[in-house]
Amino acid sequence: MEKKRDMIARRTVLRRLNLEAEVLDRLEELELILPVKRPGKERAYYPDDVDRLRVYQVLVRELEVNPPGAEIILRMRSRLVEMQKRISRVLEEIENQGLLDDVREILSSLEEELW
């Protein structure tokens, strides 16, 4: 988990990204970004959430994807990142158990059967 000092205040995010508060609220409602609520302070965001906001902006403003489409893309992107992490953990476990060569051999034979 990232450190508290890495959090970026809501007002700063809105200003830096030239983003409307309504857009930020909508993405929070959809849980595409998750604010950190700090007692006595405004909400803040971790850098990963700010990166997602930047991706959203590129999709909507530059690539002209409609907002619902951008939301779907962000969800798919998050799932893909999670899958990549899981695959890395599985490969690390396979390697730790000394099974990497066996897995490569199996994959190679499967590839030959498919092609």
HEC letters along the chain: CCCHHHCEEHHHHHHHHCCCHHHHHHHHHCCCCCCECCCCCCCEECHHHHHHHHHHHHHHHHCCCCHHHHHHHHHHHHHHHHHHHHHHHHHHHHHHCCCHHHHHHHHHHHHHHHC
Which pLDDT value is given to residue 4?
54
Domain at 4-82, CATH class = mainly alpha
> Quick check: 27 and 33 in contact, CB under 8 A?
yes
- Specify the range with the lowest mean pLDDT, choosing from 2-6, 44-48, 69-73, 110-114: 2-6
> Quick check: 59 and 73 in contact, CB under 8 A?
yes
Q: Is a pLDDT exceeding 50 seen at residue 86?
A: yes
Which pLDDT value is given to residue 20?
93
Domain boundaries, given as residue ranges, for the chain: 4-82
Smallest CA-to-CA distance from 19 within 49, 54, 44 is with 54
Smallest CA-to-CA distance from 25 within 2, 46, 53, 59 is with 53
Q: Report how far residue 27's alpha carbon sits from residue 31's, in angstroms, rounded to the nearest whole number.
A: 6
Q: Which of 40-49, 53-62, 87-96 has the highest mean pLDDT?
A: 53-62
